[in-house]
Each structure stands twice: as structure tokens, then as C-alpha cells.
A = this chain, B = another copy of it.
Amino acid sequence: MHDDRQAQLEALLETPPTPTRRPTVPALEDRLFRLYPVLDHGFVRLVDYMGDDAAIVQAARVSYGAGTKTVNNDRGLIRYLMRHRHTTPLEMCEIKLHVKLPIFVARQWIRHRTANVNEYSARYSILDREFYIPSPENLAAQSTSNRQGRDQVLEGAEAQRVLELLRRDASTAYDTYEYLINDQGDGTPVDEDRSQLARELARMNLSLNYYTQWYWKVDLHNLLHFLSLRMDHHAQYEIRVYADLIGDMVKDWVPFAWEAFSDYRLGGSFFSREEVEMIKTALSGGDFEEAFANSGLSGREKREFRQKLGLGRAPKRD
């Protein structure tokens, strides 16, 4: 990042506190404006927040009225809301983040439509020479359908070669970009004898691992939905690290909501009608493996079911 921008961000850390009567979360105040690094050049920075656990409860009590009075404490009520997917009270909290991230990550992230976004525009501005190179332990090999185990990682000379190629191409792409825009950074040309290609065109030469940045503002309900998808082990590593870090912030921000989310959404599983029937059979003393063998589930559904229950392969039956 250019030095003046870096300096501006650091100056924010010196922002003196002012009094407010709005809900305030001391643990988040400490996090405000700090750069939390992610990947090799990315970061997440908390810019603002609205609401807290009590704001969720306040809205729920208006909305569900007397019905919520039998749940007599905030933690219990928030667990009840999460369990029954009564999600509108969660929308009463809002968070604003400043995020720096590779473009291919940004392309996944933006698919979550229910957020407000202001992205750095390479149409109007010049991108920095900053691109993402995976650390060696994240150079995952392509997983194949017949290899069920832990995904492998490229290693040794092979890994070195991959990293070299990624670095070389990204570097060349930026050299060309700089040549094309022919701009000292203030609009004046580096080489007076050449034209300046429009920035909106020159940017097309950069690769998807170049960093972009944006302000991203979202309510807690939609943020938790984002996290449930992006903290999942199916999510790509490069977005998961952002999700994990934001999860840590949410834990500080709304600890009851976070706990309920962890128990009911992150840690839980959905079972289909047939799957619930088989569990019922087992719990009432029936033969689970027989019910399993006779269920109409496809091979894939069977495998996924056993995984959710931590069961090994089904026993051979004759």
C-alpha cells in the first residue's frame, strides 16, 4: 500500500473516543481501525458496528412479544431464535469492514448479494504491485473423486516451480500494466513520448491474484449466513481465512449469538426425512444397519449420511 494511505490508516488508530449513548461493545472498540493481516498482503479492518446481543433481544421481544417472556434470559432467548431460525432480530445488528483481498476471492465473496459494497475502482485509480502467492503448505493438489482422503499438497521442487511461475507471470503482468498506463501516479506520464492507455483498459492485463479492497457493510443475519458457507471446510482456503478472522470479531461483538450460531449452525447437521427415520429406528432398539441397507438412499447419500454420524463403512450383508 502506498505510504500515505498506510499513514492515514495508522492515524485512525489515534482517534480519540467521544461519548455516545448508543450500544457500545468495549471488546470491539479495541479492535476498531486495526489492520488484521490475512494472507500475504490482505487485511480486515473493523470500521464501524451497530448493535449488540441486547439489541437482538430488544427486537425479538417487540416481535414475538409475550411469547418470548417465558424465555427469561438473553442467552436463552437468542438460542431459541437461532434454533427456530427466527432470523429477523439478528438483522438489527450491522457491521462495516474494510477488506483487502485477492480479486479471485472478491469474486466469490461478492456473490453474497445482501450487503453494501464500495470497491476500489481500477477504472479510476491505479492498482498497486501487490499479488497473492500461496505459502507452500497451501499449494493443494486437485482432489479427485476416487481419492476420498485428505487432499494432498505439492511439495519440494514441484512446489518451488509453481511458485516461481506464479510470481513470474504476475510480475510481468504488472510491468506491462505500468508500461500501458505510463503514469507517475499523479497523472503525468513517465514517458512523455508515449500515450497513456485508459486505466479501465490497462487493468485487464492484471491477473486474478492481484489485490483489490472494499468497504463491506452487512447485517448480522446475512453475515452469519456468509460465515456458515465460508468457514465450512468445503470453502476455498483463501476465503476461509477471512471468514475465520471475521468470526473472531463476531465472537467479541455478540458473544451469545456467536455461541448459539456455533452450536446450531456451524456444529450441527441437517438430516433428511429418511435419515431421521433410521435414527429413530436405532434409538428405539431396532437394527440400524438393516434399516440403512434397506433405505432407498443412493450410494452418495449413504456415504454422506455415515460421515455426518462419524460411522465407518457399512458392514457387508448377505
Question: Does A79 sit at the interface, judged by CB under 8 A?
Answer: yes
| Interface pair B140/A198, CB less than 8 Å apart | yes
Q: Pick the contact of A208 from B32, B98, B103 — CB < 8 Å?
A: B103
Query: How far, in Å, is A13 (CB) from chain B's closest CB?
Result: 9
The proximity string for A residues 89-128 relative to B, scoring 1 for CB distances below 8 Å and 0 otherwise, is 1011010101000111001001101101111110111100
| Interface pair A197/B88, CB less than 8 Å apart | no
Question: Does A204 sit at the interface, judged by CB under 8 A?
Answer: yes
**Cβ < 8 Å to B, chain A residues 11-33:** 15-24, 29, 32-33
* Interface size counted on chain A using CB atoms at 8 A: 133
CB nearest to A289 among chain B residues: B283
CB nearest to A153 among chain B residues: B195
Q: How far is the CA of A283 from the CA of B288 in the complex (A)?
A: 8
Query: Contacts of A214 on B, CB cut-off 8 Å?
Result: 62
Q: How far is the CA of A204 from the CA of B124 in the complex (A)?
A: 23
Q: How far is the CA of A269 from the CA of B274 in the complex (A)?
A: 10
| Interface pair B309/A236, CB less than 8 Å apart | no
| Interface pair B65/A48, CB less than 8 Å apart | no
Question: Does A314 sit at the interface, judged by CB under 8 A?
Answer: no
| Interface pair B276/A308, CB less than 8 Å apart | yes
Question: Does A158 sit at the interface, judged by CB under 8 A?
Answer: yes
In the complex, the count of this chain's copies comes to 4
CB nearest to A63 among chain B residues: B118
CB nearest to A185 among chain B residues: B66
Q: Pick the contact of A187 from B19, B59, B144, B266 — CB < 8 Å?
A: B144
| Contact A207/B206 with A198-B141, A200-B236 known, Cβ cut-off 8 Å | yes
CB nearest to A134 among chain B residues: B201
Query: Contacts of A89 on B, CB cut-off 8 Å?
Result: 118
| Interface pair A121/B21, CB less than 8 Å apart | no
Query: How far, in Å, is A105 (CB) from chain B's closest CB?
Result: 9
- Nearest 8 A/B pairs, CB to CB: A65-B125, A267-B273, A17-B19, A91-B116, A67-B124, A204-B209, A59-B118, A63-B118
- Interface positions of A (Cβ within 8 A of B): 15-24, 29, 32-33, 48-51, 55, 58-60, 62-68, 70-71, 76, 79-80, 83, 88-89, 91-92, 94, 96, 98, 102-104, 107, 110-111, 113-114, 116-121, 123-126, 132, 134, 139-145, 151-152, 154, 158, 162, 165-166, 169-170, 172-173, 176, 179-181, 183, 187, 194-201, 203-209, 213-215, 217, 219, 236, 262-264, 266-276, 279-280, 282-283, 288, 298, 300-301, 304, 308-311
Beyond the given A103-B208, A110-B110, A279-B283, could you list 11 further A-B residue pairs with CB under 8 A, ordered by the A residue number?
Answer: A19-B19, A60-B118, A64-B121, A64-B124, A68-B124, A116-B219, A166-B176, A169-B172, A263-B272, A280-B309, A283-B311
